[in-house]
Amino acid sequence: MALSIREATAKRLLGNLSKRNVSIGKDTNYDAVPQEHPWLLEPGMKLVIKPDVLLKRRGKSGLVKLNVTWDEAKAFLKEKMGTELTVEGLTGVFDHFIVEPFFPHDDQTNECYIAMRTVRGGDEILFCAQGGVNVGDVEGKAKKVMVPVDENGKVPKITFGGCFDEVKDAAAKAALPAFVQALYAKFCENHFAFLELNPISFDHKKGEFVILDAAAKLDHTAESVCESTWGDIEFPSPFGRAFTKEEQYIRELDGKTGASLKLTILNPKGRVWTMIAGGGASVVYSDTICDFGLASELANYGEYSGAPSEATTYEYAKTVLSLICAEGTYREEGKILLIGGGIANFTSVADTFRGIIKALKEFAERLKQFKVRVYVRRGGPNYQDGLRMMREVGKQTGIAIKVYGPETYITAIIPIALADDGGAEADKLQKYAELPRARTWVDVRQEDVEKDAKFNKVTDDIAHRSAPGDAPGDSAAGKGAADHGDGRVLFTNQSRCFVWGLQERAVQEMLDFDHVCKRAKPSVAAIIYEFSVSHLRPFYFGSEEIFMPVVQTLKEACEKFPEVDTLVNFASMRSADKVSQLALDFPQV
């Protein structure tokens, strides 16, 4: 995910390509700043001061103070810091400023625009010979250069062609290729997703470019590989969009778990609240709610995914329910809570629902006071148990809950909920809700598969290929092996693995495949799950029930199963890299 950073942070990451600057926050001691940055008091030093709050077009809004001394800058800071201002329809607080040396230049002849962004085909560079506040339609006028991503991770040499032909200053034109090449190296090194410099000006005395303004986004998923280059970094909320304490709590919770938890409050007094499993599903639900004309009533956007634990789901659900039942948000017509999602692949629906049910019981009385109706739709592993528990909690607590499974399409609970409101549209909505879900699966029993002629032909063919002497170079060690192409054998029909993450559905399907392939031993030796004590979990290997070890650490797994050399990594996007790096520390894997 691309997240915005402050201008001061972007310039810090650009290193020697950017001029020195100071970031000033609301808790900064102004008198101590010159002690840390003595250049502020150098003779003749003139400064620029501007808000650093992810706000564009600051110059046009009159928010940039130019050509001032440190004392004048300090007076400006005292006047503006912490003040609230509405800019282009957004109301926010000025709580950060950036101070840097003032660079006098001709804004008609010495301002260029340059941007870099990551797109599907590679990294795209956009350049305009005329930049500044009046740069205009960048997409229409910019010269563009596409830089393919190097497969070896190296920074490729850029072919600029006629990108800089419109630059009239000969010295600046000659210096641009080297500057942009160095800038692109920083773009790659720091995993920028977007970088916009507008404007940059050429300093003829020093023979180098000066970056006057910068806006940037970083690829947040690169945090694990950029820890040393980024240092202590902050991803602030956009101007006019300060995080509530509930949103901040979920952000912190999200950072502490391998699962994904997101919450954005759109309208705290809205009627329609969502608690959706999966990022894609959350978008589908929000779009459908808006399609029904309820955009103004949509109270929140959010999702939970990545197999969160019962405790994590409880904390997430508790936070959402506290907002639904918050003081001053009562609606006479009642509120709607949609607990939805698609058909999960690996996440146990019953396990995640236990956390939600715990929160529902805790808030039962408040939910009834606020006339909250709950609508549930979910499918996936153990969904029958999860839906049954939801129905039971409705009966036990008196909360109005309607429960649906994968027999209904994903967003059916939305028109069902609206039809329950009554009114002239109720019949139409009910018909919409009753549209049948397309059946995209076929229920097949294991014994039906094993009796199928095509299945028997395939398994016989596999057995024949695995027999010794049937293929050149066949050996006992290479039976059923996958060759890497250089003689190294990666897997044989004796290979076993560890599975990182409590992915019971995936493990069971691996064991089912093992049984179909007539393996003597399951291919999964143990599950590694760091959030519980070591224990045993029941699975089926054919018709036989077996108990699979679940251990807390890779070290423990390796000690118990020294013959296992493969790790299947089900860690989330945020922690997958760290798990893979950990595995590299074990020669066995």
**pLDDT given at position 132:** 85
Position 70 confidence tier, pLDDT thresholds 50, 70, 90: very high
Residue 366 has pLDDT above 90, yes or no: yes
Q: Which of 384, 402, 433 is the last residue of a domain?
A: 433
Using DSSP, state whether 189 is helix, strand or coil: helix
Least confident of 91-100, 313-322, 453-462: 453-462
Domain boundary among 433, 456, 477: 433
Q: Give how many domains the chain has, as a whole number.
A: 4
Give 173's pLDDT tier (boundaries 50, 70, 90): very high
Q: Look at residue 106 and tell me if it is in a domain.
A: no
Q: Which of 48, 70, 101 corresponds to the end of one domain?
A: 101
415 and 432 Cβ atoms separated by less than 8 Å = yes
Same domain, 213 and 336: no
Q: Is residue 375 part of a domain?
A: yes
71-75, 84-88, 370-374, 538-542: the lowest-pLDDT one:
84-88
- Is the bond leading into 199 cis (omega within 30 degrees of zero)? yes
pLDDT over 70 at 480, yes or no? no
Q: In this structure, are 274 and 392 located in the same domain?
A: yes
Q: Looking at the structure, do residues 119 and 89 belong to the same domain, yes or no?
A: no
Q: Dihedral sign, CA of 119, 124, 130, 133?
A: positive
Please report the pLDDT score of residue 409 as a whole number: 84
Query: Does any domain span residue 303?
Result: yes
pLDDT at 424: 54
Q: Edge to edge, what strands does the sheet with 497-500 contain? A: 535-541, 544-551, 524-528, 497-500, 566-569
| pLDDT tens profile 3-22 | 999 999 999 999 999 989 99
- What kind and span of H or E run contains 386? helix 383-397
Is the pLDDT at 193 greater than 90? The verdict is: yes
117 and 95 share a domain? no
Are residues 368 and 317 located together in one domain of the fold? yes
Q: Which of 118-132, 158-172, 267-281, 343-357 has the lowest mean pLDDT?
A: 343-357
Residue-level pLDDT at 59 = 75
Question: Cα–Cα distance between 304 and 276 in angstroms, integer?
Answer: 6
Q: What's the CATH number where 418 sits?
A: 3.40.50.261
- Give the pLDDT confidence score for residue 488 in this predicted structure: 57
Q: Are residues 196 and 265 in the same domain?
A: no
Supply the mean pLDDT for the chain.
86
* pTM score over 0.75: no
**Antiparallel, parallel or unpaired: β 260-265 and 272-277:** unpaired
Q: Is there a domain that residue 316 lies in? A: yes
Query: Which has more pLDDT, 336 or 448?
Result: 336
Measured between alpha carbons, how far is 360 from 380 in angstroms, rounded to an integer? 21
Q: What is the gyration radius of the CA atoms in the chain, in angstroms? A: 30
Q: So what's the pLDDT on residue 218?
A: 94
Least confident of 317-321, 331-335, 456-460, 579-583: 456-460
Same domain membership, residue 402 and residue 285: yes
Question: Phi/psi of residue 31, each to 5°?
Answer: -70, -25
In this prediction, residues 79-85 reach a mean pLDDT of 88
Q: Do 321 and 422 have their domain in common?
A: yes
Q: Pairing relation of β-strands 566-569 and 497-500?
A: parallel
| Residue 27's CATH number | 3.30.470.110
- H runs (alpha helix) in 52-205: 70-80, 138-141, 170-189
The contacts of residue 187 (CB under 8 Å, 6+ apart) are 116, 123, 195
Are 323 and 367 in contact, with CB atoms under 8 Å apart?
A: no
Domain that holds residue 378: 245-433
Model confidence at 441, in pLDDT bands (50, 70, 90)? very low
Average pLDDT over residues 360-369: 95
Q: Are residues 423 and 544 in the same domain?
A: no
**What residue ranges in 405-543 does DSSP mark as E strands?**
482-483, 489-491, 497-500, 524-528, 535-541
In a domain, 413, yes or no: yes
479 confidence band (pLDDT: 50, 70, 90): very low
Residue 474 has pLDDT above 50, yes or no: no
pLDDT at 313 (0 to 100): 93
Task: Give domain status of residue 3, yes or no.
Answer: no
Lowest mean pLDDT segment, chosen from 57-71, 301-315, 373-387, 527-541: 57-71
Of 29, 86, 21, nearest to 49 by C-alpha is: 21
Both tokens of residue 503?
């992915």
CA 104 from chain center: how many Å? 41
CATH number at residue 158: 3.30.470.20
Residue 194 reports pLDDT greater than 60: yes
Q: Identify whether 266 is part of a domain.
A: yes
Q: Are residues 254 and 355 in the same domain?
A: yes
Neighbours of 531 (CB within 10 A): 12
Structure confidence at residue 461 as a pLDDT band (50, 70, 90): low
Residue 480 included in any domain? no
Instruction: Say yes or no: 46 and 171 in one domain.
Output: no
pLDDT of 440 reads 47
End-to-end Cα spacing for the chain:
30
Q: Is 491 helix (H, G, I), strand (E, B) or coil?
A: strand
How far is the C-alpha of 289 from the C-alpha of 432, rounded, in Å? 14
Residue 478 CA: distances (Å) to CA of 83, 495, 521, 568: 72, 11, 17, 21
Question: Which band of pLDDT confidence, cut at 50, 70 and 90, is reported for residue 472?
Answer: very low
- The pLDDT assigned to 343 comes to 85
Question: Which range among 36-40, 78-82, 236-240, 584-588 shows the weakest confidence by mean pLDDT?
Answer: 236-240
Report the pLDDT value the prediction gives residue 390, as an integer from 0 to 100: 95
d(CA 116, CA 251): 28
Q: Pick 445 or 169 by higher pLDDT.
A: 169
The answer to whether residues 220 and 264 belong to one domain is: no
Alpha-carbon distance of 120 to 134, in angstroms, equals 29
